Structure 1
Amino acid sequence: MLGLSLSGFTAAWWLVLLAVVVALAVGYVLVQRRRRKRVLRFSNLELLEKVAPARPHWVRHVPPALLLVALVFLTVALAGPTAEQKVPRNRATVMLAMDVSLSMEATDVQPTRLRAAQASAKSFAGGLTSGVNLGLISFAGTATVAVSPTTDRESVKQGIDGLKLTESTATGEAIFAAIQTIQGFSQVVSGPEGPPPAHIVLMTDGKQTVPSFDQNAPRGAFTAARAAKEEGIPVSTISFGTVEGVVDIRGNPQPVPVDDASMEEIARISGGDFYRAETAGQLDAVYDTLGEQIGYEMKEADASKPWLLFGTVAALIAAAGALTVNQRLP
């Protein structure tokens, strides 16, 4: 929505012209007072009442007032106003790590955790701004880079569609693989400004089981989170599913509750954000939030356009009003 806002100026010295606008306003008032005195001194009041236009006295002052307002707007526009605005990132790397362990076959989220996660992840990929390079990692007993960072969203979506379930959950390996991929990609695309900012989005439904349940092990999830922190790569985690989740493994019902505590700790250690989602709708909302945070940034940007627009419109209305009301330009 177009609005008049500013937090600074790139050429503030142009604002000196506002003193000229103030002087014009004062001059106009003084001229009108002097003119009124002359009219009252030399006019026949009875005749003046008969020939004077049948309109409020203040109407003829509207066009000049609008012109002064236009000058204020145009002067501010010349000063180069800036405002903090949300702008798309033109360079960033995101690795989406998705759990494909057998627990993702649980139906506590319809139709299954995996199918719901795939649909939401594809929506997330499609909604990211074009300047973000998105990669995909799938992990169960090992971690696999399914798609290297790219701006080609279709290849990421195809990779998401191709995810297959397998045993175990190597959460730490997924984070390490994401870090390594980001480092390799950053060496290729790094420019004068340095490597692009990076982010890992980890979506899982359970606790690490590989290499062990000890998440502080050398290749454990918490160790990997600390490594991500050292590299300046936050890991935002999504704990997806419910505590009632159950899967059938070789004919035996196996409870697969989500592990919110571990996911929250990974996010805390790495400097990322923790989210939980128990339904497909909640997962969509989480991905929408992440898309806004990752795909956009707040920057001081040029805000002169609305000031220029409103100034031009006010000047045009002032000119039209002067011709209509006073039969001359102000």
Structure 2
Amino acid sequence: MTSSMICLVLGLPQVQQPARLWALVAVPLLVALYLLALRRRNRTGMRFPNTGVLGAVLRPQSQWKRHVAVAMALCSLAAVTYAWARPMGIEKIPRERATIVVGIDNSLSMTATDVDPTRLDAAKAQARNFISTLPAGFNVAVVTVSGHPRVVMPPSTDRATTERALNAIGTENGTAIGDAITISLQAIKEAPGGASKEPVPAAVVLLSDGGNTDGSDPMTAANAAASAKVPVYTIAFGTQTGYVDVDGARERVAPDTTLLAQIADRTRARSWTAESAGDLKSVYQDVHSSVGYQEVRKEVTARWAFYALGFAIVAGLGVVSMATRWP
């Protein structure tokens, strides 16, 4: 039987150095030696001609004290050996659950230059500024809004990694706003501590020109967000005169501000244009803080060293009690 199987059978945490557990063999060996010593002691007791004098001189020792002292010493040895093997336990770490999902429209229409320098670059800059104002404990996720939306950054408090993911977004074909909202709702469930029965306090900030071309109906997704009590704030980028050049042909790409306003209204949120967005603090101020717990594997050597210390103290008290003839 391997050391890992022993831990599994005994219900003990797994260890990083299972080979060191073989030192536990010393415990049953010492138990056997102790029992052998007790047996020999009972067979070869000292004889005195006058047992009355012996009883007056020596007070009888309590056998249970000796047994307890030995048992505690062996338990201390077993615990310190287990600590030496570096056990790994599960610790519940408190994590902020509040999550903000930033949706960036990266469709070809976002390359229009009617917003300086382009709609996409302006949206990224607006997103960076907004993320920098969020409380440090809030989780931020980034979702692309193209014909095939995806999560490019799961909920995290790592602002540097989030910004790199944001900056790396390039253009893609199509715009599926409904699918992007659905994926944003799924991303919220990935927030640390999101396994709690209570819904994760969250909001979605959608930066887009609103021209939906693919995927599911945006208003159906908005209804799902409203049912989940996740407001979807929208920021419309672009002007009515915006255009892009595709295969040598110039195409008008006026923003669909009506659709974005309807999504925000359906989810009890607000909608802005790129020029009027300004301070977005109202987005996260309405998202209440909520702390959940995430299970993390962590070394618990100190815990077992503490157990060993406790056993050693009890064993020491037993030895001192016998040596000083306490009652």
TM-score bucket of the superposed structures, by smaller chain: 0.5 to 0.7
SS in 1 for 2:229: coil
Q: Is the 8 A contact 2:104 2:144 kept in 1?
A: yes
1:167 shift after superposition:
1.1
Over residues 14-63 of structure 1, what are the superposed CA-to-partner deviations in whole Å (9 max), with x where a residue is unaligned? xxxxxxxxxxxxxxxxxxxxxxxxxxxxxxxxxxxxxxxxxxxxxxxxxx
DSSP 3-state at the match of 1:185: coil
One-letter amino acid of the structure 1 residue matched with residue 232 of structure 2: V
Confirm or deny that 1:103 pairs with 2:100.
Answer: no
**Superposition pairs of residues 3-42 of structure 1, within 5 angstroms:** none
User: Contact between 2:226 and 2:268, CA under 8 Å: does it hold in 1?
Assistant: yes
Distance 1:141 1:114 in 2: 15
1:196 aligns with 2:189: no
Residue among 164, 169, 181 paired with 1:158: 164
C-alpha distance in 2 between matches for 1:161 and 1:189: 27
2:103·2:145 contact (CA, 8 Å) conserved in 1?
yes
Counterparts of 1:196 and 1:259 in 2: how far apart (Å)?
30
1:136 aligns with 2:129: no
- Give, as a single letter, the amino acid of the residue that structure 2 aligns with 1:98: I
Aligned CA distance change for structure 1 residues 191 and 179 (closer, same or farther; 3 Å):
closer
Deviations 1:172-193 (A, max 9, x none): 010000011112336x44558x
Aligned with residue 255 of structure 1, among 252, 256, 260 = 252
Unaligned runs of 5+ in 2: 1-95, 291-327
Secondary structure class of the residue paired with 2:191: helix
Equivalent in the alignment of 1:264: 261
Deviations 1:280-318 (CA, angstroms, capped at 9, x unpaired): xx44x1535535554889xxxxxxxxxxxxxxxxxxxxx
Q: Using a 3 Å threshold, how does the CA distance of structure 1 residues 296 and 244 change in structure 2: closer, same or farther?
A: farther
CA distance in 2, matches of 1:275, 1:142: 25
CA distance in 2, matches of 1:206, 1:229: 19
Deviations 1:195-229 (Å, cap 9, x if unpaired)? 43111111110321003xxxxxxx21000000111
Unaligned runs of 5+ in 1: 1-89, 212-218, 298-330
Measure, in 2, the Cα distance between the counterparts of 1:139 and 1:91: 24
Structure 1 residue aligned with 2:210: 206
Structure with bigger helix share is 1
SS at match of 1:272: coil
Q: Is the 8 A contact 2:201 2:287 kept in 1?
A: no
**Pair 140,154 (structure 1): closer, same or farther in 2 beyond 3 Å:** same
The equivalent of 2:185 in structure 1 is: 179
Match of 1:147, SS state, is: strand
| Higher-Rg member (1/2) | 2
Find 1:145's aligned residue among 125, 148, 151. 151
The one-letter amino acid paired with 2:161 is: S
Indicate the RMSD between aligned Cα atoms, in angstroms: 2.3
Pair 1:93–1:101, CA change in 2 (3 A): same
C-alpha contact (below 8 Å) 1:120/1:287 kept by paired residues: no
Q: Distance in 2 between matches of 1:261 and 1:119?
A: 23
* Alignment pair present for 1:229 and 2:226: yes
